[in-house]
Structure 1
Amino acid sequence: MMMPEIPARSLETAINYFNELQPLVFNKEELKHAHVSASPEFYLKRPDSPLEEMKVNLITSASDEKLLLTGHMGSGKSTELNRLAEDPKLQQRFFIVKYRIVEALNITDIDYLDFLMSFAAILFTRAAEARIEFEGSVLKRLSGWIQFISGKVPELQEAQKGRELKKRTLQFFQRIMTILLREIALRDALRESVGRNITELLEAINLIIQEIQTRLPKGKQLLVIIDDMEKIPDVNRADALFNQAGGYMIMPRCKIVYTLPIALYYNVKIKQILNTFSRAYFLKNITIFDESSRSLKPDQVDFMRKYIGKRMDLSLMEPGAQDVAIEYSGGVVRELVRIVKDAIIKALARGFSTVTQDLVQAVIIDLRNEYGRGLVGRHYRVLDTVLEGRENEVDDEKTLMELYHSRVLLEYENGSRWIAINPIVRPLLDRYRKGV
C-alpha cells in the first residue's frame, strides 16, 4: 500500500485518512490490499482498553474460554481485535483464525444453525489455506456427515461427484459458505437438513478442531476470533443466538472471542448470557465529560485531539473546530472521524485550505437531522426519563436497546458507570420537551 505523507499536510490528502467505516489493519498481507485509511500508523493506544486483560486470559487459562467483547458501535472494537490477532505473544501460542461474520453468512436472517455451519466451513477452509493436512480417517468421518447433510440438498450431492476426498470436502464447505451468504432457498433446505441432527454437526466441528490442534506444533492451540457479530441488526435474532442458543455457541472445543451486540449487554437477560459465556469485556467510549458537571475533561479531550493529529496536521483545522468536533463526538471514535471527514468535504467544496468551526457546526446540524429521522415519540419519552436520572424506571426495554444500539445513548465510566444522551441528539430532546 503506497503511503503518502502522514500526517497529511493538506486537506486533499487528509480526506483519504478519515473513513469512519474502516478499522485499522495490522496484518501485513491484508494491508497490501487495504484502503489507505486502514494504516496502523494511525493507531493510538487506549489506556482503558480491556484487550490486555483479554490477552492474559487467553494465554493463561487452561480452559476453552468463550469470551465476549462489546461496546458502542464505532468504539473501535474491530481495530482492537485486528491488533489482538497480530499480537506476537498470541501468535506464538495460537493458530489464530479471525474472520468477520458478514464474510460467512447473511446476518439479517441469521440463526444458530447458520452460525455453526459457517463456523465449520471457515475452520476447514482456513486449515486448508494453512496447508494443514487432515488424516484420511478424519476425512472419511466428515464425508459420512456430509453425505447425511447432502441427502436433502441435491445441489450439494452434485458437488460430491468424481473428486478426490480432500477436494470434495473442501468444495463442500466452500459451497456451504456461498449458500449461507447468497442463496436463500438452498439455505433453508440446508437448515432443515442440518437441524435433523445438530449433534452430528457439533461432532463434525469438534472433529475439525481436534485435527487442527493435532497438526499444530507442540504447545500451540487454536484461537478463533469472530468480529462483526455486534452488527446483527435484529435484536431478537441476536438474543436467539447468544441467549437461547448460547449453549451451542460454547460447545466448540477451542478458545473463541465473539463480539456481542451492545443492545444485548443492556438487556435484562444479560445475566443469562454471562452465565453461559466465560467473560464479557466492554470497550468503553472515551470519557470526555465529567459525570457531575458534564464539563469537558481536558486530558481526555487532548487524547481525542491526538486521533485527529495522527491523521492530519492540526494546523489544517482551527482549534475551535477541533474542540467542537471532539465535544459532539461524545467520545466515540467513529463519530469523531465522521465529523472531521464531513467537515473536510465541506471545506474542499468551498475551496478552503483549513476546516473552520462554522463548517464543523454545519456537519453537526446534518448529523442531528440524520439522527432525528430515526426518532419517534417513544424514543423521546425514554430519553426524557434518562435525562431525569431515572433510567432504572424505563420499562420499554425494546426502545432502550434501540437507543444504545444507535449511539443515541452513550455509556461512560468515571469510577462508576453513568449514561448520557449523545450531545448531537440533546437539542432534539430539548425541542421535544418544549413541544416544538
Structure 2
Amino acid sequence: MPEPKDIWEALYRRFDPDEPAHKGQWRADRRWSPIPSISAGLKRPFGEKRYLVMGTVGTGKTTELLRVAEERSEDHVVVFLDLWRHFEEGVGDPNALQHVQTWEVLLLIGLAVYRAAEARFGHVWSKDDLRDLERAAARFTAQPGEAGASGTVDLARLASSLLVFAGGPVGVLAGSAAEAGIKAIGEVARASRWDFKIGERGRKSLPDQDERVQEMLGAVNTLIGTIQHQYRRLLLLVDGLDRIKVAETTRSLFVESTVLGSLSCATVLTAPLVLRRKGLAAQVRRFEPKVLANAPVIDRHDPHQEGDGIDFLLDVFRRRVADLPAPPGVARAADCIAEAHLRHLAWCSGGRARDFVRFVRMVAERAWDHGAAVAPQEIVNDAIDERRNVMEMGLNKRHIELLIEVMQDPERLLPDDEAIEALLEQWCLLPYPNGSEWYFPHPLLTLRRVPLPPRKAGSTA
C-alpha cells in the first residue's frame, strides 16, 4: 500500500500544467466544445476541411486537438505539429513565433510531413519528391539583392529537430508491431540544432503572390499529394499559432493571406482569440472559425453560483487519478483532495484547464511536505493565495475600474476601451461560451481586488 507521499508525488507528475493530456483516458468531455463538430466534419469524404480553433491560451486546445488526431487516425494519415514547442525548444527563441511568416509556417509543415512519413509510415522519399522543398527553402537563404539560392538546405537535419505526432490506420503504419493512434516522433533526435533563421523581427512580410512563397506552397503540396496518393487522406493539425500576440503577424497569416488555406489536405490550425474579439474572424478566408472558450465555472447571471464548467474540471481530476492506489485511511486516491476543495480550486481557475492542473500540482507539493493523506484546508488556501498574488500583479486603478464595469454589466460585454486588450492578454478578463460569448473578471481577482456584487435575494450559493 502506498504511503501518502507516494500519492502526492504521483499527482505532481501527472498534473503538469505545461503538458496536454496525451492519454485518451485522461481527456474529459466538454459540454461547450466545437471539437465534436470538427471531428465529424473531417470524417465526411466531401467538402472543405479547414478549421481555425481560437481560444484563450491554457484552455485546453492542444488536448482537444490531440483528441481529434486520435479519432481521425482511424481513417486518415495524421500529422500533428507543435509550433510553440519547436520555437521554444528547437529554435530556442519562443519570441520569434511573434514574427513568423506564412512561408516559414509552410516550411515547417513540409518538414513535419516529410519526417512523419519516414518515421511513422516507413515511406521512402525519392530525390525528386524532396527537390522542390530543398530548392524553395534554399531560395530564402539568399541575401537581399541576390538572385536564386545561396547554399543548400539539409532537410533531414532540420526535420529531426521538430516535435511531431503522427498516426493512421494500422494498415499504413510501418513495422510489424505498429500500433494505431498518435505517437510522438523525434523526442531523441530533437537534440539536433535548428540553424535555419525564422521569425526574425523587422523583416517585411512577403505577399502571397511572391514567387518564392508560391514555390514553397507548391513544394509542400507536392509532399502532401504524394502521401495522399500512396496512403490515405492526410489530416494536418498545427498547434501554437494561438500564441501570437503581434497584431501585424496575426493579420498577415490569417486575414491578408490565403496561403495556409491553400494546403491540399484537411487542415486544423489554432489561432489567436484576437481574431474573434476584433471581428476579424469573418474576414478569414478558406477556414471555418471555431472557439474553444474557458469552461464556465461561474453562472452568467449570478456569479455567486457555480457554472457547469466545475464538473468538467472535476472530471479532469478524477480521470488522471482513477488508476492510482489509495493511501492508508483513504477510500480512493481521488479523495486525497476533498471534493469541496476541488470545486473551489476549479472555480478559482477561471475555467482555464491549465490553471486548474497547476492548482492540483501546487496542492500536491504542499501536501507532500505536510505528509497528510488528505490535503488540509490551509494547504489549499495557501495555493490559492499564491496564485491570487500573481494575478494581481500589474493591476492599476483603471484596470480595476474596467473589471468592475464588466462585472456590473448584465450582458457581461466588453467596454470600448484600449486597456481591455491588456486585461485579456493577462487573463484578468476571461471569455465564456455558454450562450452568446460573455466575459467576466478572473475569479481570483474577485477574492480581494474586484469583489463580487452583493448576492441576489434567494441565492443559495
Band the TM-score falls in, shorter-chain normalisation: 0.7 to 0.9
**In 2 relative to 1, CA 152–63 (structure 1 residues): closer, same or farther, beyond 3 Å?**
farther
Deviations 1:11-67 (A, max 9, x none): 2332222212211114xxxxxxxxxxxxx4433222333211101111215244220
Q: How does 1:109-258 map to 2 (within 5 A)?
A: 109-129=99-119, 130-134=121-125, 137-142=128-133, 145=136, 148-149=139-140, 151-152=142-143, 159=152, 170=156, 184=197, 197-216=212-231, 220-245=232-257, 247-258=258-269
Segments of structure 2 that go 5 or more residues without pairing to the other structure are 88-95, 164-189, 322-332, 454-461
State the shift of 1:68 in Å: 0.9
Deviations 1:291-341 (A, max 9, x none): 222233486534433333333423312344223212212232222221222
1:363 aligned to which of 383, 386, 399: 383
State the SS of the aligned residue for 1:203. helix
Equivalent position of 1:12 in the other structure: 9
Equivalent position of 2:93 in the other structure: none
For the residues of structure 2 that align with 1:60 and 1:169, how far apart are their CA atoms?
34
Shifted more, 52-61 versus 421-430: the winner is 421-430
Report if aligned partners of 1:264, 1:401 keep a CA contact under 8 Å in 2: no
Q: Which amino acid is 1:271 matched to?
A: A
**In 2 relative to 1, CA 339–120 (structure 1 residues): closer, same or farther, beyond 3 Å?**
same
Equivalent position of 1:401 in the other structure: 421
Taking every aligned residue pair, what percent have the same amino acid on both sides?
Answer: 21
1:339 aligned to which of 353, 359, 367: 359
Deviations 1:185-235 (A, max 9, x none): 99789999996632222222222222222222xxx2111001122122434
Deviations 1:130-188 (A, max 9, x none): 3334455544555654564555499x85546xxxxxxx664576699999955549978
Task: Report which of the two has the higher share of helix.
Answer: 1
Q: Which amino acid is 1:331 matched to?
A: G
**In 2 relative to 1, CA 23–172 (structure 1 residues): closer, same or farther, beyond 3 Å?**
closer
| TM, length-normalised to structure 1 | 0.78
RMSD of equivalent CA atoms: 3.8
Equivalent position of 1:32 in the other structure: none
2:282 aligned to which of 271, 281, 284: 271
2:334 aligned to which of 296, 302, 314: 314
> Do structure 1's residue 351 and structure 2's residue 371 form an aligned pair?
yes
Q: Which amino acid is 1:56 matched to?
A: A
**In 2 relative to 1, CA 357–323 (structure 1 residues): closer, same or farther, beyond 3 Å?**
farther
Segments of structure 1 that go 5 or more residues without pairing to the other structure are 27-39, 161-167
**In 2 relative to 1, CA 303–251 (structure 1 residues): closer, same or farther, beyond 3 Å?**
closer
Q: Which amino acid is 1:286 matched to?
A: A
**In 2 relative to 1, CA 324–186 (structure 1 residues): closer, same or farther, beyond 3 Å?**
closer
Question: Aligned residues, how many?
Answer: 399
Q: How does 1:13-28 map to 2 (within 5 A)?
A: 13-26=10-23
Shifted more, 259-268 versus 361-370: the winner is 259-268
Q: Which amino acid is 2:255 matched to?
A: N
Equivalent position of 1:327 in the other structure: 347
Report if aligned partners of 1:325, 1:339 keep a CA contact under 8 Å in 2: yes
For the residues of structure 2 that align with 1:214 and 1:317, how far apart are their CA atoms?
52
State the SS of the aligned residue for 1:25. coil
Equivalent position of 2:173 in the other structure: none
State the SS of the aligned residue for 1:250. helix
For the residues of structure 2 that align with 1:151 and 1:393, how far apart are their CA atoms?
47
For the residues of structure 1 that align with 2:5 and 2:286, how far apart are their CA atoms?
43
Report if aligned partners of 2:98, 2:199 keep a CA contact under 8 Å in 1: no
State the shift of 1:378 in Å: 4.4
State the SS of the aligned residue for 1:223. strand
Q: Which amino acid is 2:249 matched to?
A: R
**In 2 relative to 1, CA 12–180 (structure 1 residues): closer, same or farther, beyond 3 Å?**
closer
2:289 aligned to which of 277, 280, 300: 280
Report if aligned partners of 1:95, 1:223 keep a CA contact under 8 Å in 2: yes
State the shift of 1:96 in Å: 0.9
Report if aligned partners of 2:32, 2:433 keep a CA contact under 8 Å in 1: no
Report if aligned partners of 1:317, 1:354 keep a CA contact under 8 Å in 2: yes
